[in-house]
Amino acid sequence: MRKVAILSVGMTKVDKHWRSSLRELFSEAAKRAMNGSNVPKIDALIVGNMCASDLSDQNNIGALLADHLGIVPSTAYRIEAACASGAAAVLAAYGAVSSGMHDFVITGGVEKLTDGVGGNTTLSLGKAADAEYELFYGSSFVSLNALLMNHYMNFYHVPRETFADLAVLMHKNGARNPYAQLPFEITRETVLNSDMISDPISLYDCAPVGDGAAALILCPLDEAKKYSDTFVEISGIAGATDTINLSSRSDLLTLRSIVVAAEKAYRMAGITPADIDVAEIHDTFTITGALSIEDLGLCEKGKFGKMLASGAFSEGGKVVINPSGGLKSRGHPVGATGAYQIAEVAMQLSDKAGKWQVKDAEIGVAQNIGGSGSSTFVTVLRRSR
C-alpha cells in the first residue's frame, strides 16, 4: 500500500447558489483544486453526493461531472453515505491511490439542496435514517437528533444555554471564513430566542441549508513533491458504522461509529487525541457537535460544556474546534461537507487558511457523520516537511 498525499484543494462558498447547477458548482471547486497544483492528469473522479436523485432528478453524476469538467474518459462514480458522502468519497479515493489502481484522483463532494421544493428537502435529508422504522413514523433528521439532545440534557443535567454557547463559538469562527454561508457573530440569546424546530432543538442549534462543492486532488505521497510545495499527508483514514435505527443502541449518548472510526484512524496515524491541534467536527446540530467532541476523545463524556467554557476549544486552547465555523456557520451542503472538512484541515496544515489560520498546527482531524451517528468517517492529516 502506498502512502497518499493531498496535492491541492478547492471549494466554493457555501451559499444558496440560485444561479448555479450541480455540475457547475462541482466544476468550480474542481478547477480551483486543479489550478492549485501542477497535477499532470486526472485518472479518476470519485465524488460524494446525497440528494441529487431526489432534488435535482439526476443520477449517474460521476459521468455528469466528468463530462462538464472535461476529463472524459476518466473513471468516474458517486459515493453515497448520507451526510458522510464527502468523507466516504475521500476514503474511496485514498484506497484507489494507495492500492496503485489510480495515481491522480480528483475527489470531494457536491450538494445542491436549493433545487428542492417545499418539504422535499426535509424528506430527502430524512432518508439518512431507517425509512421503514423511523421515517415511517414522521421522524425527520432534526427530530431524531432532538431525541438525543433531550436525553443528554436530562441525563447530564445540562441546560440549553450550554449548547447555545457552542453555536456562538462556531459563528465567531465562521465570521472570518470567506467560504462560510453564515459569516456573522451571534449571542446566546440569538439561539435561545430562535424558533423551535423540534424541541429542544431551535433554529440556531441547526446547520443551515445550502449548496456547495469541495474538491481535493490525491496522489502517491512519494510523488507529491514534484507537483506541489504545499501538499499534506493523509496519515490516517477510517470509517465505522452503528445501527441505523437510533433506538437499537444500548447507550444513546455514545455514537459508537465515531469512537470506532477515530480509534482506527488514530492508530493508523500513530497519534492519540492529545496530539490533535485542530479538528473540523460534525456539528449538524449543537448536540451532534457535543457528542462528536466527546466521542473523538477530545474531552470526557458529559463534560463538553465545561471544557467549552474554559476556552479549551478556542484559538490558543487545547484543540481548536472548527476554525472554519463548522457546519453551523460555514454551512452544511450535506454530501460535500466531509470534503469541505478535510480540505479545510489541509488548508490549516499548509498555512493557506488566511484570516482563520490556526498557528503552528501540525496534526489535524476531520470527522464526518452520516445519519444520526449510523456512519462516521475520521481522517487524520499531517503537515508535510
Partner 1 sequence: MMSVPRYWRELPERSRFEGFRCTKCGTVSYPPRAKCLKCGSDSLIVYKLPERGRVVTFTIVRSPPKGFEKMVPYVLGVVELEDGTNVTVQITDVEPEEVRIGMPVEAVFRKVCEDGDAGIIEYALKFRPSI
| Residues making contact with partner 1 (CB under 8 A) | 118-120, 122-123, 126, 130, 132-140, 142-144, 146-148, 150-151, 154, 195-201, 243, 245-249, 252
Instruction: Kindly calculate the radius of gyration of the chain based on its CA atoms and give it in whole angstroms.
Output: 19
The one catalytic residue among 51, 83, 206, 219: 83
Mark whether 206 is an active-site residue: no
Lookup result for grid cell 440549553: 160
> Which residue, 209 or 237, has its beta carbon nearer to partner 1?
209
Q: How far is the CB of 246 from partner 1 (least distance, A)?
A: 6
Letter for the amino acid at 81?
A
- For the bound state, the minimum distance from the C-beta of residue 260 to partner 1, rounded and expressed in Å, comes to 15
Structure-block grid coordinates of residue 349: 496544515
Nearer to partner 1, 116 or 338 (CB): 116
User: What is the residue-wise DSSP string for 116-174?
Assistant: --TTHHHHHHHTTS-TTTTGGGT--HHHHHHHHHHHHHHHHT--HHHHHHHHHHHHHHH
Residue 83 falls in the annotated catalytic set: yes
| Minimum distance from residue 129 beta carbon to partner 1 (Å) | 9
**CA nearest neighbour of 258 among 371, 123, 158:** 371
Phi, psi of 312 (to 5 degrees): -65, -25
Least distance to partner 1 from the beta carbon of 146, Å? 4
- 81, 337 contact by CB (below 8 A): no
Q: How far is the CB of 113 from partner 1 (least distance, A)?
A: 15
Write out the three cell numbers for 306.
465545561
Q: Which residues pair with 375 in a beta bridge?
A: 241, 370
CA separation for the pair 6, 17 (Å, rounded): 27
Q: Do 56 and 117 contact (CB within 8 A), yes or no?
A: no
Give how far Cα 44 sits from Cα of 74, 100, 204, 212, Å.
Answer: 5, 12, 39, 21
Residues marked as catalytic: 83, 332
